[in-house]
């Protein structure tokens, strides 16, 4: 059957990443292909995990896990650089601050200056599942402020970026739970295809500022006790939580070629569907996952056996991973029967489940793999025998290695992203056209400077900040009923 839809052909021209122990795309790639999981005990600058920790999973209002792939130094923020008053910065949700910084970094990575893009038809679409900072401010009796509303609305996380950059295209946030950031990518691609904008920032973020998520996830019995995602492993016992921000810059491929942009990869196709009625809202639907993959390949005329890497949603929950792998196997075998031709990975095996940022993290893992022409390593020790991997089109790649595509074919990857809400997203990406591939060690590199800002103190009764005056410090309410200043 001939394809019913043309390929999207959307270029990824900029990447910014900040996740546990990774501050940019290159350090993220090194971390993904390292030897360890980044889960560690949640530090006191987030909240007092000891106050709610109890290894007994049935203990009321307690969390049986105290580990996560959390960020450090989330209080640091150069307020003056973004034209924000210090006292306003203290009230603004740290997710807004981090997104501002990483959107700026993504634009720098794409070689786009503020002067060049101001007033243009640029856009921002972000996937964000939750925000807790306002609750934290109220818990600690922080007085309402003129920035309390705009500083803590989820919509204003994208809106503040659009305001600062003076953008005239679509700017909004979306929440489909765990698939939020890939839903954002899906919508961003459509905005470009429908000519509602000329370029767009999209991605997602997640911060865990209170104990709520740990306790709620424990009551749902979905957490791994040690915070480690053992994806597709026989010893898988639940997911681990992570924090981070991931942003990509997208352009139509034709425009990126005219601009002679560096292209990390190209989005060929992306589609969404819903699980519909299942045994429960959070229960995954194998048929829905399978139908989404099959219909995407058929609509765009992409044969599954042209893919040689697959970035799975892969949370490390035994039921969820089994359903995902079974759906992948059946959908691929229906259209392209074969065995062990496609490597499987999941970045959650290194960085945990980053909620609203999990999908974009998977996209970046696949895209960086295309860019480096290497297959990323999946951290796995004992493959779950129930998966029957040897009889499937897939295999697990346990170490970083060169990526050799089928003869005369480009490197291609599929990406799964599923939401607790029932929203599923499936995306196919391809390496940059051979005409624009370049040695990443050649060419010119920017040396970036940020102007020195003056330091400011915390909220009332706090001592003045005396740290690095090159970086304006924001604030996060601490676990000891105070405002902690970075």
From the list 156, 178, 229, 354, the catalytic residue is 178
Contacts of 85 (CB under 8 A, 6+ apart): 79
Q: Is the dihedral of CA 209, 212, 213, 215 positive or negative?
A: positive
Q: What tokens were used for 413?
A: 């990857």
C-alpha distances out from residue 421 to 217, 294, 361, Å: 15, 21, 19
Query: Beta strands of 183-331 (E only): which ranges?
Result: 199-206, 244-252, 265-274, 309-311
CB 455 within 8 A of CB 473: yes
d(CA 197, CA 190) in angstroms, rounded, equals 10
353 belongs to the catalytic site: yes
From the list 37, 46, 297, 313, the catalytic residue is 313
- Between strands 122-127 and 171-174, the pairing is parallel
Please choose, from the candidates 239, 195, 193, the residue with its C-alpha nearest in 3D space to the C-alpha of residue 213: 239
How many other C-beta atoms can be found within 10 angstroms of the C-beta atom of residue 316?
26
Please choose, from the candidates 268, 248, 259, 226, the residue with its C-alpha nearest in 3D space to the C-alpha of residue 69: 226
Rg (CA), the chain: 22
CB 240 within 8 A of CB 145: no
The phi, psi pair for 290, rounded to 5°, reads -65, -45
C-alpha distances out from residue 170 to 188, 194, 200, Å: 9, 12, 8
From the list 37, 297, 353, 371, the catalytic residue is 353
Please choose, from the candidates 451, 427, 298, the residue with its C-alpha nearest in 3D space to the C-alpha of residue 366: 427
313 belongs to the catalytic site: yes
Chain-centre distance of CA 59, in angstroms?
Answer: 32
Q: What tokens were used for 408?
A: 């005369």
CB 40 within 8 A of CB 440: no
Counting Cβ atoms within 10 Å, is residue 466 exposed (0-12), middle (13-18) or buried (19+)?
exposed
**Opening angle at CA 153, ends 20 and 109, nearest 5:** 45
d(CA 456, CA 479) in angstroms, rounded, equals 21
178 belongs to the catalytic site: yes
Can you spell out the DSSP letters for 354-406?
Answer: -GGGHHHHHHHHHHHHHHHTEEPPP--SSB-GGG-GGGSSEEE--S-EE--PS
Just list the catalytic residues.
178, 313, 353
């Amino acid at each position: 059957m001939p394809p019913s839809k043309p390929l999207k052909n959307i270029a990824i021209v900029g990447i910014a990443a900040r996740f546990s122990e990774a501050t940019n795309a290159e350090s993220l790639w090194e971390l993904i292909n390292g030897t360890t999981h980044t889960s560690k005990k949640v530090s006191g600058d987030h909240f007092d995990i000891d106050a709610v920790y109890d290894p007994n999973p049935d203990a009321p209002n307690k969390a049986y896990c105290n580990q996560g792939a959390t960020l450090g130094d989330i209080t640091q923020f150069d307020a003056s650089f973004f034209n924000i008053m210090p006292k306003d910065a203290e009230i603004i949700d740290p997710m807004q601050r981090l997104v501002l910084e990483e959107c700026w970094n993504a634009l720098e990575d794409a070689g786009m200056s503020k002067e060049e893009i101001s007033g243009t038809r640029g856009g921002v679409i972000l996937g964000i599942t939750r925000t807790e900072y306002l609750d934290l401010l109220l818990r600690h009796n922080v007085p309402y402020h003129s920035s309390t509303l705009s500083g803590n609305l989820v919509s204003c996380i994208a809106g503040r970026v659009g305001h600062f950059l003076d953008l005239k295209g679509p700017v909004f946030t979306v929440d489909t739970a765990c698939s939020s950031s890939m839903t954002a990518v899906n919508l961003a691609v459509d905005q470009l295809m429908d000519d509602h904008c000329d370029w767009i920032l999209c991605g997602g973020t997640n911060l865990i500022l209170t104990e709520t998520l740990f306790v709620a996830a424990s009551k749902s019995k979905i957490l791994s006790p040690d915070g480690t995602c053992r994806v597709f492993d026989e010893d898988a016992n639940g997911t681990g939580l992570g924090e981070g921000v991931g942003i990509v810059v997208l352009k139509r491929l034709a425009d990126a070629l005219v601009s002679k942009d560096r292209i990390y990869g190209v989005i060929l196709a992306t589609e969404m569907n819903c699980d519909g009625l299942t045994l429960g809202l959070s229960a995954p639907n194998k048929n829905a996952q399978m139908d989404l993959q099959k219909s995407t390949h058929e609509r765009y005329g992409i044969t599954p056996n042209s893919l040689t890497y697959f970035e799975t949603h892969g949370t490390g929950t035994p039921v969820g991973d089994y359903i995902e792998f079974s759906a992948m196997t059946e959908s691929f075998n229906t259209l392209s029967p074969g065995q062990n031709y496609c490597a499987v990975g999941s970045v959650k095996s290194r960085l945990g489940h980053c909620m609203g940022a999990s999908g974009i993290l998977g996209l970046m893992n696949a895209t960086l793999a295309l860019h480096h022409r290497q297959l990323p390593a999946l951290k796995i020790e004992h493959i779950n025998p129930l998966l029957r991997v040897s009889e499937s089109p897939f295999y697990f790649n346990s170490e970083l290695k060169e990526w050799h595509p089928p003869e005369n074919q480009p490197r291609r990857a599929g990406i799964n992203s599923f939401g607790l809400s029932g929203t599923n997203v499936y995306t196919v990406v391809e390496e940059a056209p051979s005409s624009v591939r370049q040695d990443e060690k050649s060419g010119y590199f920017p040396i970036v400077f940020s102007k020195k800002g003056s330091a400011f103190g915390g909220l009332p009764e706090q001592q003045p900040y005396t740290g690095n005056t090159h970086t304006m410090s924001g604030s996060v309410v601490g676990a000891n009923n105070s405002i902690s200043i970075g």
